[in-house]
Amino acid sequence: MSDAIVSIQNLKKSYGDLEILSDINLEIEAGKIYGLIGLSGAGKSTLLRCINGLTDFQEGRLLVNGQDMTRLSEKDLRQLRKNIGMIFQNFSLVDRLSVYDNIALPLRLWGVEANQIKERVNKLSDLVGIGDKLFVYPRQLSGGQKQRVGIARALALEPQILLSDEATSALDPLTTQQILKLLRKINQELGITIIVVTHELDVVKTICHKTVLLEKGRILLNGETEKVFFDQPKDLQTLTADQRHYQKADNTDLISLHFYDYQEEENFLSKLAFSTGINYKLKDCKIEEINGKIVGFYVLEIPRDQVVLLKNFSEKRKIEWRLLQ
């Protein structure tokens, strides 16, 4: 039985003759955080709007909790949307309403009683860290505080799915990290599935379990975040503009060594030199932590007749090596 809370099958979306999404197939696993990345115009935000029912599509199926959105009545579709929260880049707060009333707004629209609204708003404001700001107005808040209000409002109706459309792109780096920490907390404590649209790769690396790369309305990559960045496929290099080129001598080869959840990377080069006597030149290096796993690479220039030594040393330690052309 599938664990998918959202299942997208052969979805196509066009505006007139302009195809925005083409043959999208994607399973969103319940309780995970997904990152949708891609260049501007790739179709990320359109896909998000299809998921929350704000945009229709011409072909395919989109199921949320097993319910086919294309076959629901307006009443049932409205009920389904209640289960999907949304946070935006521009916060979308009502300026004339206090923080309390902004968070309470969805609850009032659904006819929730006042005492229940008070209890829910107080609980959510404490969760997102704005319990002392309930009776101030949006104009009195910082960007990070406004986004916390937006997150609390998105959680008001207790959704199972939270959609985030570039929610940190207008924030400074420190505030971005604070908001990402909050989203991770919401995912872990409430078990909410989160789908993040972003052009910031550090956002994906920080909180996303899975990463989906879109280009021109098509899915090019879909996998565990740390594995996607470990593999460094050409499609991802194009997005990051990280296509590296190295010079070498005629009698040498360039070898890249890729680490995935390797705990001794700091001592790797010294062990390599001590154990094998390989005369290497370090051409490049990048090591980072993604989802608690050490991921990265070294690029070494070594004499051609020592490649076998490096191969044996690496494979013994289950480190992937690649001969660069």
* Confidence check: pLDDT of 254 > 90: yes
Same domain, 10 and 124: yes
Q: What mean pLDDT do residues 251-271 have?
A: 80
Number of domains within the chain: 2
Helix (H, G, I), strand (E, B) or coil at 8: strand
**Helix (H) or strand (E) run with residue 144 in it:** helix 143-154
Side chain identity, residue 34? Y
pLDDT of residue 1: 42
Q: What mean pLDDT do residues 12-18 have?
A: 92
Residues sharing a CB contact under 8 Å with residue 264, sequence separation 6 or more, in sequence order: 271
Alpha carbons 237 and 244: distance in angstroms, whole number? 9
pLDDT of residue 29: 96
pLDDT of residue 262: 67
Same domain, 201 and 100: yes
Digit-coded pLDDT (tens) for 147-178: 999 999 999 999 999 999 999 988 899 999 99
Mean pLDDT of the chain: 90
Same domain, 113 and 51: yes
Angle between helices 143-154 and 114-128 (to 10 degrees): 130
Of the residues 215, 238, 261, the one at which a domain ends: 238
Query: Which range has the top average pLDDT, 114-118, 267-271, 299-303?
Result: 114-118
pLDDT of residue 246: 85
Domain with 177 in it: what CATH number? 3.40.50.300
Judge whether 247 lies within some domain.
Answer: no
* Confidence check: pLDDT of 32 > 60: yes
Same domain, 112 and 222: yes
Phi first, then psi, for residue 118 (nearest 5°) are -60, -45
pLDDT of residue 119: 97
* Confidence check: pLDDT of 31 > 70: yes
pLDDT of residue 193: 98
Answer with the residue of higher pLDDT: 28 or 3.
28
Q: What mean pLDDT do residues 220-244 have?
A: 75
Same domain, 86 and 183: yes
Q: What is the pTM of this model?
A: 0.86
pLDDT category of residue 191 using cuts at 50, 70 and 90: very high
Alpha carbons 34 and 26: distance in angstroms, whole number? 11
* Confidence check: pLDDT of 69 > 80: yes
Percent of the chain beyond pLDDT 90?
64
Beta strands in 121-246 (DSSP E): 161-165, 193-197, 210-215, 218-224
Same domain, 230 and 310: no
The Cα-based distances of 233 to 213, 236, 238 in angstroms read 11, 5, 9
**Which residue range is the domain that position 279 belongs to?**
252-324
Domain with 309 in it: what CATH number? 3.30.70.260
Lowest mean pLDDT among 95-99, 190-194, 258-262, 312-316: 258-262
Helix (H, G, I), strand (E, B) or coil at 302: strand
* Confidence check: pLDDT of 60 > 50: yes
